[in-house]
Structure 1
């Protein structure tokens, strides 16, 4: 079973309904939970997150929000957890972050392992380089925060967009009340909000945000 995070392009409708799951993940735990998760850009480009950094907000001297500093550039860091924070470095490159629990806290996505669409990725990277530049090895396509943004065609306009999470619900089996303690074990799983699920457990859905990690994450938009 997968959970899906979606980020749509400026030419399509944007879902502004933010999952509460991000609000229960402080920056270090959220940074850790992104590992080996999948990012999908449109239907062609796919990559697995292999490197992240956690920035803890006011107490973190390396953070843009160090000391509680709140200005136009970093205002996204103070928005609801799960908001995309895009900023420039060196005036030309972009970096992608996701805000997390904690005042001004966020997670930087540093690098991906390309999984599919590598030729398109190379084309997007080549558009930023001089004619005749060397052909990039697969491991060189997304091994840097700015390369990640180039490879997935992440734009500055993505800033302040929200990530929507369809979460995995874990509840007791259905109709096995006669099996003693096993009847209460959370071994029945389904995607919250999916129309094809046979039986929903609304109580579990309301309570689950405090204990669920992020797994099998995918991001989508049309190139």
Structure 2
């Protein structure tokens, strides 16, 4: 049975990029497809891209193009871009112009059969046994495939616009007892000092996280006893 929580509004997302990346953990991404099919997934991993001095950001040093325009649009705007010429990544604009939060992983909550169907179609494989529920959305491109998020159907949508009934965020007031790991972002190899900055955040011990950082987890545990 589907549970509808409070939809997040502009004032909920009105935060600096790093604060927003942390705030989104535990929140629920909701996708409404044709025929009123509903998909839901809990956000369990995020990365923030700060713009400005952040050399890993598409808007580094104020760079502004037609492609990255959503990063400069109002809070809660969807920024979808293609990576490796074949996969999409999904971001949400934050308070600062040119800054956005990348959603890296979701814990599937509703509509898993449909998510699995999308994933299988993309891989052109009939082997569904290897697609465990927890792993349907354990990566930025995987979650886009599972939720049918593409540049042509999601880019520039504002998640806080109540007229938009295809994609939005919900609060889950009962999901707040979790620990967060701070670690370096993934796949950032040519941004010099920004390669190692702790701008990736994930929920400790959640099976849907794309990649654990055991060193960061060990440091977190040690700090708990200091």
Length-normalised TM-score, structure 1: 0.65
- The reply on whether 1:30 has 2:20 as its aligned counterpart is yes
For residues 111 and 131 of structure 1, the distance between their equivalents in structure 2, rounded to whole angstroms, comes to 22
- The residue number in structure 1 matching 2:45 is 51
Name the stretch that deviates more: 35-44 or 97-106.
Answer: 35-44
- The reply on whether 1:19 has 2:2 as its aligned counterpart is no
- The reply on whether 1:103 has 2:93 as its aligned counterpart is no
Larger Rg: 1
Aligned length: 157
For residues 60 and 37 of structure 1, the distance between their equivalents in structure 2, rounded to whole angstroms, comes to 26
- The residue number in structure 2 matching 1:151 is 146
CA spacing shift, 1:20–1:93, aligned 2, 3 Å = same
- The residue number in structure 1 matching 2:58 is 64
**Quick one: higher RCO (CA 8 Å, sep 6+), 1 or 2?**
1
Q: Provide, for residues 138-160 of structure 1, a one-character-per-residue CA deviation record: whole Å limited to 9, x for no partner.
A: 12200000110110111212111
Q: Provide, for residues 39-65 of structure 1, a one-character-per-residue CA deviation record: whole Å limited to 9, x for no partner.
A: 122243211000001111111111100
User: Mind listing any 5+ residue stretches in structure 1 that lack a counterpart?
Assistant: 6-17, 167-213, 218-223
- The reply on whether 1:142 has 2:145 as its aligned counterpart is no
- The reply on whether 1:126 has 2:120 as its aligned counterpart is yes
CA spacing shift, 1:215–1:44, aligned 2, 3 Å = closer
Matched position secondary structure for 2:61: helix
Alpha-carbon RMSD: 2.2
- The residue number in structure 1 matching 2:6 is 3
Length-normalised TM-score, structure 2: 0.64
- The residue number in structure 2 matching 1:220 is none
